C-alpha cells in the first residue's frame, strides 16, 4: 500500500498525543502524565524549532507517526536529526508504514545540506525495533545515553 506522508499539523494533536501515550505504554510500560504530554505535543506542533512530527496515512486514516528533534554537532559542523516518537497502529504494523516515514524523513534530511545524520535511541530489550532500524542502515555508534531526570 502506498502511504502518504506529510508534516503533522495542530489538527493532528489528539492522534499524536494518543500515539505517544500508547508508545510509552507498549515499549516501556510507562503511563505518561497527560498534563505534560498534551501541552508538550502541542508546543512541538506550534514551534518547529522544538521538533517536527510526520504522519503516514491512507485516504485520511492515520496509520503512524514519526517525530524529529535536533542536535547541533560542533565536531561535525552540522545537525543530527533525532528520530523520536515512532508509533504505528497495531493493525498497520508490518505494512511498510515505518518505511514510508523513514524514507520521507531521510529524503528531507538529505535535501538539507546542514543535516549530517540521523540518530535515534531504542530500549535495550526492544530487539525487534533494533532489527528494524539496522535493516535501514542504522548502526550503533558506541555511545549510550545517560540522563538526570527530573532535575
DSSP state of 119: E
What average pLDDT score do residues 68-92 get? 97
Show the CA angle centred on residue 137, arms to residues 134 and 140, nearest 5°. Answer: 60
Sorting pLDDT into bands at 50, 70 and 90, what band is 126? confident
CB atoms within 10 A of CB 100: 23
Sorting pLDDT into bands at 50, 70 and 90, what band is 145? confident
Cα dist. 21→2, 59, 104 in Å? 26, 24, 24
Residue 64 lies in a domain: yes
Residue 117 lies in a domain: yes
Sorting pLDDT into bands at 50, 70 and 90, what band is 72? very high
Domain range holding 90?
4-135
More confident residue, 1 or 74: 74
C-alpha cell at 102: 523513514
Q: What is the pLDDT of residue 1?
A: 63
Residue 128 lies in a domain: yes
CATH code, 122: 3.40.630.30
DSSP state of 30: -
Total domains, the chain: 1
Amino acid at each position: 500500500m502506498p502511504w502518504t506522508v506529510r508534516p503533522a499539523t495542530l489538527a493532528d494533536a489528539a492522534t499524536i498525543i494518543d500515539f505517544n501515550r500508547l508508545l510509552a505504554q507498549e515499549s516501556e510500560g510507562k503511563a505518561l502524565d497527560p498534563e505534560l504530554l498534551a501541552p508538550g505535543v502541542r508546543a512541538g506542533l506550534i514551534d518547529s524549532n522544538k521538533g517536527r512530527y510526520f504522519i503516514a496515512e491512507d485516504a485520511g486514516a492515520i496509520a503512524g507517526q514519526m517525530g524529529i528533534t535536533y542536535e547541533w554537532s560542533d565536531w561535525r559542523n552540522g545537525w543530527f536529526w533525532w528520530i523520536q516518537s515512532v508509533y504505528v497502529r497495531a493493525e498497520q504494523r508490518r505494512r511498510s508504514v515505518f518505511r514510508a516515514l523513514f524514507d520521507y524523513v531521510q529524503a528531507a534530511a538529505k535535501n538539507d545540506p546542514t543535516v549530517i545524520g540521523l540518530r535515534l535511541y531504542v530500549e535495550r530489550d526492544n530487539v525487534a525495533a533494533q532489527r528494524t532500524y539496522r535493516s535501514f542502515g542504522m548502526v550503533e555508534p558506541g555511545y549510550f545515553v545517560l540522563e538526570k531526570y527530573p532535575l
